[in-house]
Structure 1
Amino acid sequence: MEYGILALLLLGIFALLSERKPPEPAAQTLAPQPAPGTARLQAGEFAIREAGGVPDIRQFVEAVPQHGVYDYSFTLGTGEYFAFKAVPNGRAYDVQIKSQPSYGARPADGHSTHRLGTGNALRICFKEGHVPRSLPEAVATSLWWSKLTATYIRDGKSWS
């Protein structure tokens, strides 16, 4: 997947954040609310909707707090499970990778996988100028990274 598509996704995130309005009070809660600072974003609980292969990020912008340390996980519609921890780092966010599928026989170097760090201290590598500045941006971007990673593992399709 080219960086241009990722850049378009990030521009969409920024546009949605600038349009963010306070949520209207809900008549009822449809699913149990996660404990403060945690979330499990799964297809059954969070309805990861997609249009043309692009995740619908509005749900994250509306449901995730703007700032703070946040542990979350989700399962893609194709079954791959990912878990992350978003941590503020000055004026941006680091997204630590807590769990993801194995790369199997695919190259797992930092360049091929868009990851930084080693061993249990891996995090998503963001292109200069595209570092998430809010928690919803971090969550939405990690979903997009997960989709691209799952495609790379399954089909060998390179990001660039």
Structure 2
Amino acid sequence: MMQVLRETLTDLSKEAHGYLVHLLGARSVENAQECFFQVVKYLAEAAASGANVVMKYLAQFLMVAGVDVEMPVNSITPDAVVYIGQWLLLALIGYWLLSLAFRLVASTLRRVLWLLKLGVVLGLFCLILSDSSAGTETTALRLAGLVSVCVLLGIGHSGTGVIKPTWRIK
């Protein structure tokens, strides 16, 4: 599974690189890559340095407080910061895709249930109107009851919102 994912991402990145080379030119893409890698390297070094300082101060603070602590690593390297950053970025993209899929499923389910309620109401409406043995008052009461149920269940509203005018009368 991981191998397939890796191959898919590699193919996707090669296609994106080829498209950018076609669009901007090979030299521009190379310069942008070098600049990006230098910025990432600088930020990783700065983050690793800051994390090492925080880790040392935290260890000293705990030692002064009387807690004997041994840190699992002596120092954090820029490569470790980049590695963790990549996994965090992957987790963020995965979370975004998962929430997008859940929203799509929820929206589709909401529409299907609304259509189901609408179908039931239309069926009941046809059933009420097709009853020839009922009198006019009985039919009117049944239709009023159906309208009341529709209002209570919110069947007349599909969840899309109301269009509001942009103009105002002064």
TM-score normalised by length of structure 2: 0.24
Structure ranking higher in helix proportion: 2
Structure with the larger RCO, 1 or 2 (CA within 8 Å, 6+ apart)? 1
Q: Which has the larger radius of gyration?
A: 2
1 or 2, which has the higher strand percentage? Answer: 1
Report the TM-score, using the length of structure 1 for normalisation. Answer: 0.25
